[in-house]
Amino acid sequence: MGLMRLFYYKYLNSDVIKGFDRYKYSSQDTSPFSNYVMHPFWGWLVQFLPRWLAPNLLTVTGFLCLVVNALLAVYFDPEMYASSAEYSQFPAIPAGFWLASAALGFMSHTLDGMDGKQARRTGTGSPVGELLDHGLDSWTTLLYPMIAHAVFGRGRFGVDPGRLYLIYLAVMGQFYLSHWEKYVTGVLFLPWGYDLSQVALVGLYLATYVLGTDFWQDFAIGDFTYPDIAVAVVYGGFWTLCVPLTIYNVAKAFRAGTNRKSGLVASVEPLAAALLLLASSAAWAYYSPNNVLHASPRLFFTAFGTVFTNIACRLIVSQMSQTRCELFNTLGCLYCLTVAGLLLRRSSLQFELACLGCLTVVAVVAHLHYWCCVVRQMLDHFGLRAFVIVDKGVKAK
């Protein structure tokens, strides 16, 4: 009981709580693939679920599928070389891993698509469910690229950590801009590429199970490798669809006078913490005296991705409660100070890795504490339980 009291810390003040009381979900999904393929599929599948099954249980189970998948990737490919033809000294990933990845990816995506439909079906939709869903989604931006990278590995026909970092920036950037867009406009414009990318990843894992990783260790078209095409698709989608549409929707809200924040400064404040993380992580990735990104890419991305998740979650809390987002993030500032100290001190690789490891542990523990406390505080406020559907009569009491 004493340990559990650690998770009773109240991060949300009364203004934030009052903002959640007024919250109404608003979104637009114009993707033909989502509307004509995925949503009908999820709507059909959800009918087979028992009505006592809590939507939050689907949300968390779907997230845990990805966590298990990522841990398997770390176990079979700790150095991220296993699928590289040039590094045959590293044991190959078992074929069964790709079948498991396809199954876990499909389950995660399906459960993520069904949780909202189960909530509406059982009449249990609440701001807590959306907060939990989107908060966990922010952490999946760390897991998806890490798992998919195992298909290609490093080397000439793979994806080196420097390029993988750029992919992370695009994936996380799209997620953050979508929620910043909602922070300003009040509407979540769901990206077209999300459902397509999830189905494509499942197909990629199934193809790798059938064809083997050696299939991807070759040129795809002319002098372009398969990873070249994948990177082009990710970045093409980010710069030609995500960024222009976000700017358009935000500008449209300002012209129409429907923007939720008064003035440009208040609207762009949430970008400060994300840009600070971008600048410090880029400096560490490309100017590390010991090339720490290449020495321990998984640890680097875990630290960077977890700090990003904390920044994104705090933005989600602010946009849902219609309160002003903090200008700077504590974990983000800690990350920046750590990077500055290491770049100025120019210490040994062992010391830099030790600092990276400590930063990763601090970031993961601090974010888990923040997120668990926030969700618990919201559950207590609304009289709900996380994984049990509370009877309305009991809730009223």
Residues taking part in catalysis: 134
What residues contact residue 113 under an 8 Å CB cut-off, 6+ apart? 38, 39, 41, 42, 195
Q: Which of helix, strand or coil describes residue 290? A: coil
On the 0-12 / 13-18 / 19+ scale of CB atoms within 10 A, 242 is buried
Distances in whole angstroms, Cα of residue 204 to Cα of each of 197, 201, 326: 10, 5, 39
Q: Give dist(CA 342, CA 346) in Å, integer.
A: 6
HSE-CB at 15 with a 13 A cutoff on CA atoms is: 6
In the block, tokens 């990816």 appear at 105
- In this structure, the dihedral spanned by the alpha carbons of residues 378, 384, 387 and 391, taken in order and rounded to 10 degrees, is -170
- Does residue 115 contact residue 125 with C-beta atoms inside 8 Å? no
Alpha-carbon distance values, 61 to 42, 57, 145, 206, 326 (Å)? 16, 6, 20, 22, 31
For residues 300 and 161, is the Cβ–Cβ distance under 8 A?
yes
